[in-house]
Structure 1
């Protein structure tokens, strides 16, 4: 098994740039995931984010999670649970409009730190999208422009904790899925592992590394690249000891962004559009009902809708 791709972003500034860009290209084409280090977010600041996130979980979420487990009798399950994830989670929306002031129980310092963290991650996401454009031969800013819609991208952070689980063979921390959106930036616990991705039919651990950011590609990038880059199935395995922290920040298209294969790529590869054209909002509505199923039928459903729409236009012409 090839080793999980780790990209040192400092090397983009010197003579190692070409080799580093090649590593990113290979990761996007063959893994759908990579891990970045020296990405510009200060390690001390990341330590503060981690400390406050873990404190917030202990103060405000842990007891609630224990009560849910007791109520559902999850400690005593005898067979596999397929409709539930062993996670404690809440969502912070940053763009186009922040919900930070409405989320209950957040202390002022935690709100301030998460706002700053989101601003730095947004910058990193846009930098990474431009690196992808460069590798794909698309004009700089193409992906950001496609994501923009009328109000700018959707950007938010899912804050999750995965407490120790007595039956990790029967309950997943998070069931296998691909991400619906654009590009995902994950700050994960460096002591408690659990994240795995599916590569060549095998589940591979995403290594926990201190101060790294794990990057993975969502369904929208698969569509825009006409399948050159793929979104990849991944899951979280619950552990019997230690609580795993996960901050997954999703940089997604605007609700009214129109998503379709980049014409320049279709022409360059001399292929037809293998993927449909749709509104991101419509895709998300569909995705929510089928998140834990294979992605191909999702694309197929929109391809069929597109064909039907085309036929309708022909009939009325």
Structure 2
């Protein structure tokens, strides 16, 4: 149910809008990743240095109305394999839900707000202090839904193992060292399945 942005937007001569939006997302992304660096006890520019020009992808998702939304999942449960995900949701229809204590909580749409998801990369860098967000998307019976999602991710050669200063006797190392390119290559062709991908990097999993 996900469709290329080139079909819906660039094909409609809105390229300038997309480029302007992408530029602003880059600016927001730089601020967010700099803030994450500080939260992890690093210098402000450390994590930005692991991102090549803040590598990113932009995707438009279109979910048409569905007569039986209870039987159709728009996007299966998963965590994103990126650093951060910046989403702009349709203000008129809800659909995104996050996993919490074994259940699902709907995310309310706020006009003009961006939805920020923590990805697997931050969970690994932080040695599990900050968890990637498991989420899914439901369909809507009466309304179509459109979202724009930007993916911020490191260079392929960037190491995404836990930072040493976050490892001690009370917080033992939980994840293996791996480059982002290796991690992406390992999971990109696998189906969406909750937190399966990040769990595969845990030291005690294999």
Does the TM-score normalized on the shorter chain lie above 0.5? Answer: yes
The correspondence for 1:271, drawn from 167, 171, 188, is 171
Match of 1:110 in 2: 14
Residues 255 and 279 of structure 1 are in contact (CA less than 8 Å); yes or no, is this contact kept in structure 2?
Answer: yes
Render the CA deviation track for 1:176-201: whole Å, top value 9, x for unaligned. Answer: 10001110000000111111001111
The correspondence for 2:74, drawn from 168, 173, 191, is 173
- In 1, the alpha carbon distance for the partners of 2:22 and 2:55 equals 12
Structure 2: any 5+ residue segments left out of the alignment?
none
Matches within 5 A, 1:242-281: 242-266=143-167, 271-281=171-181
Matched, 1:206 2:110: no
- In 2, the alpha carbon distance for the partners of 1:166 and 1:159 equals 22
Shift of 1:168: 1.3
Match of 1:184 in 2: 85
Matched, 1:155 2:155: no
Match of 1:137 in 2: 41
Matched, 1:89 2:18: no
Render the CA deviation track for 1:280-307: whole Å, top value 9, x for unaligned. Answer: 12211222233422435654357489x9
Match of 1:58 in 2: none
Match of 2:132 in 1: 231
- 4+ residue runs over 4 A deviation: 301-305
Q: What TM-score do the two structures reach when normalised by structure 1?
A: 0.59
Partner SS, residue 47 of structure 2: helix
Q: Which has the higher helix share?
A: 1
Q: What TM-score do the two structures reach when normalised by structure 2?
A: 0.89
Of structures 1 and 2, the one scoring higher in RCO (CA 8 A, sep 6+) is: 2
Work out the number of aligned pairs and report it: 205
Partner SS, residue 82 of structure 2: coil
Shift of 1:248: 0.6
- In 1, the alpha carbon distance for the partners of 2:198 and 2:190 equals 8
Partner SS, residue 203 of structure 1: strand
Render the CA deviation track for 1:205-239: whole Å, top value 9, x for unaligned. Answer: 11111110000000000000110000021011101
Higher Cα Rg: structure 1 or 2?
1
Structure 1: any 5+ residue segments left out of the alignment?
1-86, 92-102, 308-317
- In 1, the alpha carbon distance for the partners of 2:191 and 2:203 equals 18
What do you get for the CA RMSD once the two structures are aligned? 2.3
Match of 1:288 in 2: 188
